[in-house]
Amino acid sequence: MNDQRYARHQPHAGDRYFGSGKVVFYALHSKFVDEKSVQAQTSPKAREVVYYSLAIGHHLGVIDCLKAQLVCPQADYQQWLETLPLNSEARRKLAGVQQFGEINIDNSHTHLLACALSKAMPVMNEQQQGWSQQLIALLQQIENEPAVYLLVRKYDA
């Protein structure tokens, strides 16, 4: 087996920057094409399509650059989620990061999450309200530019 073709499992780079016990919201910052990969694996005719379809994904040599936008301690993140209605779709979506370690938030989630966060503001503490406002602003960016998305990742202890 050619080990060069498979990613090696290593500790998340985020552990160095954020420490463990954090939940980090990343936003798509930019995309670029790994030109060597594209040139080696794509016919000349198809290369032109790649540059017009950056949203297609990593299998075409497209690399997403994500930038941390919001960092929450895991315990505080859990308390924040508890301000959302029990069994609500918004709470279920945001709780997925604790179950799966990582979730994506795209334009199919923006309205649901923004409405739920806005409605829950009166029962939130000041810190939670600040996080909600930040997340709502990020959701608005997705609404304005549907190619943007959020990646939410949990860094364990």
* pLDDT reading at 92 higher than 90: yes
E strand segments, 4-131: 22-33, 62-73, 102-105
* Residue 136 and residue 117 in contact, taking contact as beta carbons nearer than 8 Å: yes
Enter the tokens of residue 122.
């009166």
Reply yes or no on whether the pLDDT at 121 is more than 70.
Answer: yes
Q: Is 101 left (phi over 0), alpha (psi -120 to 50) or beta?
A: left
Sequence-separated (6 or more) residues with CB below 8 Å from residue 64: 28, 31, 58
pLDDT reading at 78 higher than 70? yes
Please tell me which of 21-35, 103-117, 138-152 the model is most confident about, judged by mean pLDDT. Answer: 103-117
d(CA 68, CA 76): 18
Report how far residue 146's alpha carbon sits from residue 139's, in angstroms, rounded to the nearest whole number. Answer: 10
Q: pTM for the whole thing?
A: 0.70
Of 2-11, 80-89, 127-136, 143-152, the range with the lowest mean pLDDT is 2-11
Interatomic CA distance for residues 52 and 48, integer angstroms: 7
pLDDT of residue 10 exceeding 50, the answer is no
- Are the C-beta atoms of residues 21 and 74 closer than 8 Å to each other? yes
Alpha helix (H) residue ranges in the chain: 14-18, 35-41, 44-52, 74-81, 89-100, 110-120, 126-144
The top-scoring range by mean pLDDT among 2-11, 29-38, 69-78, 145-154 is 69-78
CA distances, 18 to each of 69, 77, 89 (Å): 12, 15, 28
Q: Is the pLDDT reported for residue 7 higher than 50?
A: no
